[in-house]
Structure 1
Amino acid sequence: MRRDSRAETVSPDDAAKAVTKVRGLLVDAQAMGDLDSLVKRLDALQPAIDKQREERKVERAAKVAEAQVEKTPASPRLPRSRCGHRLEVRRRQRAPSSTSGRRCPA
């Protein structure tokens, strides 16, 4: 588990779930060996898991910022008519007549 968390093949959430599961199994374990040492090693994994979470959060924020830059239009927005239709730049623009009952020419 330690190798997987260092190699980042396991997500931080999955690693935390695995640590919790193993720790739960150790409570009632009837096994030979140094179980206290194993618990200490599991506790030592928590800072690495937290660090990996922070790194992924920073990476996601950078990707979101990059996507926002890519989505920003290079040209200004097209003007809109009174009824909300976008007017094309090439179309001749005339002032809408407020006295006529016609619909938007767009």
Structure 2
Amino acid sequence: MSCDKFEKLFIQELEDELLNHIQTCETCNLEYKKMQVTEKIIKEAKPYFATQKRSKVFANIAASLALVVVTSTVFLNNDCTTKIAYDESVSTAAFPVDEYGLVDIQ
């Protein structure tokens, strides 16, 4: 004997009617107990997945910050190295330079 009232009442969210029906129908009572066990298992697993998600977010943030630090230092050092190399090549070639370090052509 199968009873389909459990699904109908559960979907329509008629809690009072559902609980009354569960008390009278043995099939629906077993189904309700299975549903409670499943709900309990899901609630136990939820914190685990939340901490996993949080740790992934923190790892992504740390990796992004590390990437920003490394790339910014590379670009700054590259700019300084280029400026030093340019100044040395200009001064060794004995070209006249203006106050900004640019070759002065007159």
TM-score for the superposition, normalised by structure 1: 0.44
Q: Give the structure with higher Rg (CA).
A: 2
TM, length-normalised to structure 2: 0.44
Flag the structure with higher helix content.
2
